[in-house]
Structures are given as structure tokens and as C-alpha cells.
A and B are shown apart, each in its own frame.
Chain A
Amino acid sequence: MSHSRLPLLRRISQIFFLLLFLGLLIFTSLRPTPGATGDIHLRAPVRLFFEIDPLVALTNALAGHALYRGLIWSLLILLPTLFLGRFFCGWICPMGTLQHWVGNMPSESKRGKQRIDSNRYKRWQTGKYVLLIGGLVAAFFGSAAIGWFDPFSLLVRSVGLSLLPAFNFAVRAVLYPLEHSHISFIKAAGESLHAGLQYTVLDFRQQHFAQGVILGVLFIGILLASLRVTRFWCRGLCPLGALLGAASRWSILGLHKDPSACDKCNRCLLNCQGGDDPIGGVPWRKAECLMCMNCVGSCPHGSLEFRFFRKEPEVATPDIGRRKAVTGLLAGAAMVPLFRANTGMGKSRNEKLLRPPGSLDENDFLSRCIRCGECMKVCPNTALHPTLEQAGLEGLWTPTLVPRIGYCEPSCVLCSEVCPTGAIWQITPQEKGWVVGVGKQQSQPIRLGTAFYDRSRCLPWAMATDCIVCEEWCPVSPKAIYVEEAQVIDSAGNTKTLKQPRVDPSRCVGCGACEYACPLQEHPAVYVTSIGESRSPGSQILLNRKS
């Protein structure tokens, strides 16, 4: 095949994987098959990109001394990279594709000679290796915070929690006037468009996430940086790219430069994605090359070619140097102790930090959670949100249940199904144990926390008014909320008999349905705090629980 066709092939591959990624992200939501019954599971393999991500796998292995289910698929990327180099970054990675696309947009600050210069190798490209080393060392010491920088975590967190909800909002804003038009054919068109979109890109309900704006703006900022420096993220920050670059050290495929044919026209540099010096006269930088094939396709003299087993001078190892490597090592080693020196752990744990059902104890959780936001995207009640300060600085963007916005659905375990790392360990509805299944013996249920009453706000306690909606919604049986009839006197002096609710902490599972259903919405009179959560043996109320 002619080499000039390779960039076209690459483009097809990039578009395919970008669409696949977006499709899987959109299908990271509750979409039961109409006409089916029984337990609800996700139909699409929505964890796919995390499972083939060697950075996630390595982090998980370092922190957990094992690979969580599915992560072994990362060999599909890692092993070919050993032989072929960073083809993943140039051909598959959707984050790379988005930057590639933005980087190709016409930009005043990246034209002609400037553009050629910007595509020469720069020292700052070693930043990603420092970040990788730091992240891996931190993982070894018990923090998966490198997930802040993993490209798929970044994508799902930003696109799933910010851009897609914004897109949904925009689509609805356009559809609404159409559907409410007085002209019948516009109304019909709007309605059928809505019906069509409802089962594809539109969510069943508009989702809103805490920090949605911050996540979106950060992401757009990263993409826009590509206008100035092509693939700024891939070249300078991406720890997955760094890992794959390091893994390609002994790869057998490399850029062959024919110095006799090269007249230094610089065309290869115009479209170079990796900043790996494809031009003649300087050694090619293997760890930086994304195998995008642009240089091969744009060389007018055919002096560039990718060849197996070639023997030519090249810079095979990342140009990082001992000093920077040690810096990364020390930074990573210092990070966990520094984070843990902060408050937020142990007794000062945030009372409103409610982890999803199946979550491991906080230390294990933080050593696995890559802050990808899959659990938040999939939650049918949009009950899970990225933390800001609730889990400490280290726990930034890890999930927390916000019952006021949404409670934990009793038989739902989708968050545990999508979690790629086992921070939320996969559970079945029976293991969750909130509903006694048909013919199933119940063991101790998973508890997220315990509900408490604010008697100064609760209607039957404080305002001589009937209510107990919380009791109606309590999903366990026997109910964890029980009532006591009381004689109260209203403002007119009349004696009234009503039912005042109380919590039985031995039955409460902390789902938050009571807090969600309380009519005092902005500051519910019943609220869940994390005490009693089953994942923390050191955070219990009762000496002995009734089973």
C-alpha cells in the first residue's frame, strides 16, 4: 500500500473510535429494553475504554496487588505497543483525536514558520513522564489520584458530567418551542424529532452535576491549548501517553529517514502530531512519536518511511534525565503522606461524604478510584456527584451521594457495574440486600449511612402538621422509620393527634429516600450522614445490630 494512504486510514480509525467512545458514553445510562422484565443490567460494554487502558491497569495493580475484572484487556494495547510504539495515541485515543481535530483548526498563532517551530521537540514534553512517575509511585503508596490525568477519566468526567448534560439542555431548548408551536406540522415535526432523539442522544431526564461548569471549562481549555501547541495535552501532560512512550522503548517499528533525499523542506514538521523530530539531520524521538503517519504522507521526496528492524540513530528512551525522574519519584512518594497529613481522614471525616453502594473502605477506595465519573453518569437518579472538598483534597472528583438531589434506588447496582477499578466493587441487588428477594436468604445489607431527624424543622415534630412522607418512601421492610402517635397543640390551641417519625438505626441503610422525599427540599428535616456505613468498621453507632 502506498504510504500516502496511511493518514487517511488513520483518520478513519480515529473517527471510528471517537464515535465508539461517545456512543458508549451516551449508553452509560439506564435504558431497559422495552418488553423485558427482571433485573436491570447495562446492555453496552461501557467500561471498554477503561479496560483497555494500561495506565488504569497498572495503577490498579500497584494499589491492589491484583487486576480488577476486565482490566486484563489492557494487554490488548500494551503488548502491541511494545512491538509497534504509540499507535494507540495517534490512531485510537478519542482524547487524542479531539485534540488532533482542534489542533488542525486555523490559528493565527500557529502558522508557517511558527507552526514548524512549534512541532519541533521541546523539553517540556518530558513533563508527562514526571507526572507518570509521580502517579505510579502515589498509586503504590495508596492513591489513584493519577486518574485526574488519565485521558479517559478526563473525557468521561468532562463530556459525561458537563458537555453532554449541556448538549441535552440545548437540544431541549430548541425542541420546546417546536413542540409547543400552534402550527400543527411544526408541532408534529418537533414531537417526532424528540421521540427519535429520546432513544438515542437525549437522556430520559435532564441531568445536572455539581461542578459541571468547572469540569466543562477545564476541558475546553485543554482542547483550546491545541490551537497554540498541537496536541498540548498528549505531548506535555498525558500520563497514559508517557506510559506507552516508555513501553515503546524496544519496539521494532521505526521511522526510516533517507538523508540523501531530504532537502529540509520542513513539510514533515507542518503536521507532526507528537513533536518527535521526523526531519532529517536530527535523531527521531521514538517515545514521542504517535505513529500518525502525517510526515510519511507529506514528504514530497518519499524520504520518510516506517520500517521494521531498521538500524538508525534515534532517541529511544524518554529524554527525562535522572534529576527529573527523581523529582517525580519524590513527589509521588510525598503526595500520599502529605494528603493524609491533611484533615478529612479518620475522625474528621466529612459527615456528608456518602459513597455509592459496594464502595470499599475509604483507604482502599482512594487507592482505586480514578475519578472517571462513570458511576455518576450512569446513576438513574443523578444522585452521585463529584466531590469538591467533601473527601479532602486527595478525594477531589470522587463520587458522593447527594440525597437531596437523588436517593439510592433500592435494587439498582449500576454504579458498581460500571466502576472499572473496583473502588465500587461489583455487587448484585441481593448482595446490596435492601429488598428481600424471592426465596433469598438475607445477609446484612450494605449501608451508606444513617438517617437523622431535625426536629426543629420536621412538620409533625415542630409544626403540628401531618406528614411522614419519609416513612412512606422508606424502602426496607420492616421500615427503618417508625412512628409514634402524639398529642400536640396547634397555634389555635386545639389538641391534635398526629404521627411523629423516628429512625431505627439498626434497620436504616442510608439510601436517602427519606431525605429526597422530605417536603422541606432545600434543607430537609431528615438527612443522611455517613455514620454507620457498612464499609467503615470504625464508623459505627450501635454496639450490636439486629439482623
Chain B
Amino acid sequence: MDREAERGIEQQKLEQLKSTAPEQKMTRRDAMLQLLRLGGVAASAGAAAFWLNEHSVRPVPTVPEQARRDHRSASDPQLPHLTVVQGGEPRALVQRALEDLGGIRRFVSANDVVVIKPNIAWDRTPEQAANTNPEVVAEVVRQCRQAGAKRVLVTDVSCNEPRRCFHRSGIQAAALAEGAEVILPDPELFREVDLGGVVLKSWPVFTPFLEADKIFNLPIAKHHELTGVTLGMKNWYGILGGQRNRLHQQIHQSLADLASFMLPTVTLLDGYRILIRNGPTGGNLEDVVLKKTMVAGTDPVAIDAWVAKAWWNLDAEHLPYLQMAAARGLGTVDFEKLHVKFSQL
């Protein structure tokens, strides 16, 4: 159809409309109603504008939550502060270590929510010893479940791609098989928390760590270029989100701050295989030494001090974070004064 004809039809329709619509005058009633309606709209718009105008405040950052909780268990003078178990397979090492420390029921009560924090930072297999041994994790999960824990969560905030880390470390499979919930670090599950530290103030922390009744720290002993070693306290890096690559700038202060915030129920340091070079990522089997050892206890400072001295010959003077933590009353670097138990399997 051409444009001319189309326009013609439009014109016709318009004429028709005009002829059929009768001329009408607005009644007074109609006019009043219309004015009322308009007035109503104008008044609402005005009120809304004034209300919004009053409520203009500069957005403030959310106030970080106070979330520090003490998960530590009561000390028992009969029991060793520290136990070093040697010469067994991972599960046997865990069993003996927990036995030496008084058994799992000392740490876990029925209906507890237990969060287990292995090191699942890197996309590495168990043989490469960059993450905690999956069998160690599995055994801890099993015992916690046996002790009647309501929920046993296994989680970490990985460095490498978390799906790959959880999978290839073998930890996801091992923990699931023992009935744990394995929680990947979903970027939406972080809360801004006041860490109350000297250098660490407000940081996003992964929520499961804030909602636990009991916290098990399951680090692995590894070489680290900046500090010499990475042991138990450095494992707390893995509770943080945000731009944590800044922590290296004051690593000792950061570690002490983290240790003041996270007070674990117990620490079981995995020394089944340890990474002695090219840590903390490793990758090369030549960097790995089979130690078949577990160091466990309720004093996080003493564990790190003992392992640093025994395996890397590093004194506490070389690890200022240990001294800072000791000065804050989080433990003692002087492990020789403690009750240390040695077990050979």
C-alpha cells in the first residue's frame, strides 16, 4: 500500500471520530473532581520531595561487627600442652595426638558446630604437600562426628581457584566421605568484622568462622620465603577475604593480630609430609620430605615455636610474630617449660 492512500485512510478515521463525538461541556462536578485529583498528585509529589530532601545523608561505611569469640578449651594440668607423635600414617597420627591431649570429647561436645580449617590454599595434590593431608582432615571429621557434633564444616579461603584447590587437594572428597559439610569460599559469604588488631582493623571474614562453636586449626608445615616458615598461625590468612595481599607488608604484626582474633579449640599441625623448599606452593616432589609426624596442642604459639626450632632450626628471635603473640598472652614460645609428650607409633 502506498503512503498517499494510507494517509487518506487516517484522515477519514479522524473525520469519523469528530462526527460521532458529541460536543460536551464539563460540569462543575467534573471540574472539581479533576482539580481534586490534580491537587492530590501535586501534594503527594511535594510531600515525597520534602521527605526525601530531609533524608539526604552521606552514605557511611558499615560498622564492622564485633565477632571475636574464645573457642579455647579449659586447660587440664594432667594433660600435656603439646604432643609430638611420630612414625605413623596420617589417621593413626591424628588418633594418637587426640588421645594424648585427652580425647576428642575434651574439645567437642554434643550439638557443637565445629569448623575445621585445613590449609586448602593451592591447586596441588596431597603428594606435593602444599595443602593439609586429606586423611588428617578426614580423621578429625570422623572423630568430631563421633563426639556428637551437630555440624562439622570444612572450609578455607583458597589462594588458587577454590574449586580446583578443594578438588585436587583431595580434602573435599575425604571430608565428604566422613560426613562433613564442605563449604567453598563463596564471595557473598563474607562479613565485615573488627579484628581489633594493631594493623588489622576492619576486614571481611568468611562467615562460617564467625558462627562456629569450636574451631580446629589443621595447618601444614611449609617453607616460606618471607618468614622462613609457614605454620599454624599463618593458617589464619585463610579466614580473610578482601585485599589480603597487603598483609605481607607487616607480616609479623598481621600474624599476631590474626592470632589474637582467632582462638582455636585445638591445633593439629600436619607434618606427615612437609615442604622444605619453594614454599608455600611447592609443586616439585623433590621439595617434599616425608616426616610422618603430627604436632598438636592447645597452645598455638608453642606449636609454631617447637616446629620452627625442631625442623627449621629457627629460634623465636627469628620469628617476631611468635614473640608478639606471646607478649599478648596467647601462648608461650618457651616450649621447654611446657609439658611436651613424645609418642612413637
Residue interface mask B238-249, A partner, CB < 8 A = 1: 000001011011
Query: A97 CA to B196 CA in the complex, in Å?
Result: 58
Which chain B positions have C-beta within 8 A of A476?
283
Which chain B positions have C-beta within 8 A of A517?
159, 245
Which chain A positions have C-beta within 8 A of B177?
35
Residue interface mask B152-165, A partner, CB < 8 A = 1: 00000001111110
Query: A474 CA to B160 CA in the complex, in Å?
Result: 11
Which of B163, B224, B245 contacts A204, CB < 8 Å? B163
Query: A519 CA to B246 CA in the complex, in Å?
Result: 6
B residues 217-274 touching A (CB-CB < 8 Å)? 224-226, 243, 245-246, 248-251
Query: A205 CA to B123 CA in the complex, in Å?
Result: 17
Question: Is B128 in contact with A466, judged by CB distance below 8 angstroms?
Answer: no
Q: Please, which residue of chain B has its CB at the minimum distance from the CB of A206?
A: B187
Which chain A positions have C-beta within 8 A of B280?
472
Which of A36, A435, A519 contacts B167, CB < 8 Å? A36
Q: Please, which residue of chain B has its CB at the minimum distance from the CB of A406?
A: B161
Known A176-B188, A477-B278: A469·B245 in contact at CB below 8 Å:
yes
Residue interface mask B114-149, A partner, CB < 8 A = 1: 000000000111011000000000000000000000
Query: A412 CA to B170 CA in the complex, in Å?
Result: 16
Query: A128 CA to B287 CA in the complex, in Å?
Result: 59
A residues 368-408 touching B (CB-CB < 8 Å)? 380-381
Residue interface mask A431-462, B partner, CB < 8 A = 1: 00011101000000000000000000001000
- B184 on the A face (CB < 8 A): yes
Query: A411 CA to B125 CA in the complex, in Å?
Result: 10
Distance from B245 Cβ to chain A, minimum over Cβ atoms (Å): 5
Tier of interface size on chain A: 35 or more
Tier of interface size on chain B: 35 or more
Q: Is the interface of A mostly helix, strand, loop or mixed?
A: loop
Known A40-B168, A380-B163: A519·B283 in contact at CB below 8 Å:
no
Which chain B positions have C-beta within 8 A of A38?
168
Residue interface mask A10-45, B partner, CB < 8 A = 1: 000000000000000000001110111111100000
A-B contact pairs, 17 of them (CB 8 A): A30-B163, A31-B163, A36-B173, A204-B186, A380-B163, A411-B164, A435-B283, A436-B284, A466-B251, A467-B248, A468-B225, A472-B225, A472-B248, A473-B159, A473-B281, A476-B283, A519-B246
Binding site for B on A (CB under 8 A): 30-32, 34-40, 113, 172, 176, 179, 204-206, 380-381, 409-412, 434-436, 438, 459, 465-469, 471-479, 483, 499, 517-519, 521
Q: Other CB < 8 Å A-B pairs besides A434-B283, A473-B159, A518-B245, 12 of them? A: A35-B173, A36-B167, A36-B173, A38-B168, A179-B188, A204-B162, A204-B186, A380-B164, A411-B123, A468-B226, A477-B282, A517-B245
